Structure formats: C-alpha cells, structure tokens
Structure 1
Amino acid sequence: MSDGPEPADDTTTPSDTPPGTTATAPRPPEGPYVVSPSVYKRLMSGLPGFCMAMLASLALVGLVILITPRHNESAMPHADYGSDLAGLTAVAPYQVLAPQGLPPQWFATSTRLSGHGQGPISWHLGFSTARKEYAALEESNETPDGAGHFIDRMTSQGHPDGTAQIAGATWDREFRPDKKQRSLVRRLPGVTIVLTGTASYEELGVLAAALKPQPKPSSSATPVG
C-alpha cells in the first residue's frame, strides 16, 4: 500500500508525443573545435601558396590583355588610288576633280573606277578622316537627278539641308538622319560631284576645298632634250 502519490516521471516516451509532432534527438552542445598542431600548420602553410597562385593568374590575364590586338589606324586598309585616277583622266569625257593637299591624318581606304567609254564613267574614293569618320568622293557623268539616279543613290535619298559656300563654290547639303549620313552635292557641266559619309559637314568641306582639276595625260611622249 502506497503512503502517497508517486512522483511524476519527466521522461517523455514516443507514446507521450502529441499526435502530429515528431520527436527529435537532443543536439550535442556546441563549443570550440580543437585542431591539432599538425593540421593547423598545414592550413597556414597553404595560404602563401594560394596567394602565389592568384598572383600568377592575374599576371597571365594581364599578359593576355597586353598582347591582344587593338583597333588602330594601321589595321585599317590603305588604298593607293593613283592608277584609278590615271585611268579616269585618260578616259573620262569630263573634267576630273581629285583631292590634293588633304591633312596628313586623312588616308584613302577604298577606290573603284567603273564604266566605259560608251556609257557613264564613275569613280569612288573613300577616306578615313582626321576624326576617324568616313568621307567618300563620288564622281560621275551619270544622270544626276531623279529617283534612282546618281545623286539619289549616293546620298541614300538624303533630305535637302541648305547650302554651303566652300572655296568660292556653292554646294547643296543633304542629310539622311537615320544613317547619320551627310552629303555635299555639286553639279558641274558634264559631271556631278557628291561628297558623302558619316563625317561632319566641316570635314566634308575640307575634302571639297581640296578638290583640284586634273590634267589629261599627254597623248605623245615628251621629248628629251
């Protein structure tokens, strides 16, 4: 026979866990981790090696950047247009104009002579300007005006944009905004000159001012005295 109520048992059994819950094992107490001297030495000795590897990687990246080719003027094509100019002056039925005395930063990048004696003869001469823009001389005795004709094609159907006085001559300005294409147009007897490209009107004016009449080649040899 018991003399009184038995003390309550604080131990919880799985059967005592309320329905819908899961019993979890008690977590061990957390505390500082003890690393042996040999492991500590290996960890610390690996740090300088890691730093050296990082420095070597950075040096390799710097070397790759250093030797990677960059865009420069020497990589752009340079064109010699002397033969095309000589051919044009020999066969063109009009007074040929060509640039002389352009600034030294300008250089020709393309030249093309097309046509024949029985039809229009045209010359294209492209330049890289001092400001690294593009300017082209288009010269032809093709029909200048009208849809699909010379001026319409060379200016990409540019819109009238006033006039410019350059070296005593009047040039018509045309502009194609979506292509950022500016053009100077001059109609001469028997030939039309179009200066066009991404260059500013100022730089196109430099090209216009440099245009000079070119003499016809002599049909007979010059006697040597």
Structure 2
Amino acid sequence: MQDMVLSLAVIGVLVGAIYFFIPHDDSAGAEKSAVKTVDYRVEITTARRAAPYPVAGPEGLPSAWRATSVSYKASDDGKGGAWHLGMLDPEQEYAAIEQSDASPKQFIKDVTLGAAKVEGEQAVGNKKWDRYQGDTYKALVHEEPGVTTVVTGTAPYGRLAELAAALVAKKG
C-alpha cells in the first residue's frame, strides 16, 4: 500500500511539473489567436495583375475582421481563374470572398458547398445580390459579364452583406 501511495505521489509531481513548464494559454483570447491572421496585400496585387477580371478586395472594414487565408489560381487557358480571401468576422464566424470567370453555376456550387438559391435578394449599395442557403454556408452571389463574385461562409447574411459592401474591384 505504501508503494502505491509513493508511486502516485511521484506521478503527481511529474504531472505538476509538466503542467508548470509547458506553455499554455487559458485566456479568452487563446481561441481568437488560434487562427493565424494573414496579410493579403501582395496576393491581391498579384491577382489583380494576373486575373482577366477586376479582383474584389475589402476596403475600410473594421480591424475586428481578420484575413485567414488567401489564394489566386490562374487557369491554363485564361478562363476559370479563381480568387479567394477567407476571413473571420468580429464574432469569429467565417466569411470568404470568392471570384472567378469560370462557369457560374459550377463555381457557385463549389464555393458555397452546394448551397441553393433562395427567394429574395440582398441590396448591397446599388447592386442586388442573390441569396443562397446551404447546410453549411450561406452566400450572397453577384454575377456580371465575365466574373462571378460570391461572399459566402457561416456568418449571418448581415455580416456577409457588410463584407460585400466593403468590396472594391480593381484591375492591376
């Protein structure tokens, strides 16, 4: 019995030492900082030069919005290039800007994870955006000749509209 108590004491000291010496963060900010913020300025400049359409990026969003992923994939044939900018809104919900000159139907299906068009439109500035709803993502979709812009994610429609309103499309 004495050996078992001694063994448990040694194990307790080891666990305590490991807890004490291994860095950890139990603060409320730990969850927020778990997702890395990215700087997308270089990528958006490159995409605006490479894309055959004006690439949309947010301007004037509050600093509580954080970019978390960015990419531009050009197509070999000059059609179907895709711009992506993933963000977290102030409530830590996901929202993304997706743009492409590919076939709108398939592009929308892919980036919204199969969301379907629902009744009603969302007014954003002087443009009307179609609403989409899926099991995972909601989306606002705006189709123009030569480019489809999708603002999609887990964020509510109001936040998606806020992001859409901040978009400025430019060609580099």
Q: TM-score per shorter chain, which class?
A: 0.7 to 0.9
- TM normalised by structure 1 equals 0.62
Shift of 1:133: 0.3
How big is the shift at 1:116?
3.6
Say if 2:69 and 2:86, in contact at 8 Å, map to a contact too. yes
Alignment of 1:15-164 (within 5 A): 68-70=24-26, 71-116=30-75, 118-119=77-78, 120-145=80-105, 149-161=106-118, 162-164=120-122
Q: Cα RMSD over matched residues?
A: 2.2
- Name whichever structure is richer in strand by fraction: 2
- Letter of the 2:112 counterpart: T
Asked if 1:171 is matched to 2:125, the reply is: no
What TM-score, normalized to structure 2? Answer: 0.80
Q: Distance in 1 between matches of 2:167 and 2:151?
A: 11
Q: Is the 8 A contact 1:126 1:135 kept in 2?
A: yes
Conserved? CA contact 1:107–1:129, under 8 Å: yes
**Identity percentage over the alignment?**
36
Q: Aligned residue pairs: how many?
A: 152
Letter in 1 for 2:159: E
Moved over 3 A (4+): none
- Cα distance in 2 for partners of 1:75, 1:210 equals 26
State the distance in 1 between where 2:52 and 2:71 align: 18
Cα distance in 2 for partners of 1:101, 1:171 equals 20
Segments of 5+ residues of structure 1 without an aligned counterpart are 1-56, 217-225
Say which SS state the counterpart of residue 84 (structure 1) adopts. helix
1:92-126 per-position Cα deviation (integer Å, ceiling 9, x unaligned): 11122211011110010000110246232111100
Distance 2:98 2:72 in 1: 10
Q: What is the CA–CA distance in structure 2 between the aligned matches of 1:174 and 1:125, rounded to whole Å?
A: 19
Larger RCO (CA within 8 A; separation ≥ 6) = 2
Q: Is the CA contact (8 Å cut-off) linking 1:92 and 1:117 kept in structure 2? A: no
In 2 relative to 1, CA 75–156 (structure 1 residues): closer, same or farther, beyond 3 Å?
Answer: closer
Amino acid at match of 1:104: S
Please say if 1:207 is aligned against 2:129.
Answer: no
**Rg: which structure is higher?**
1
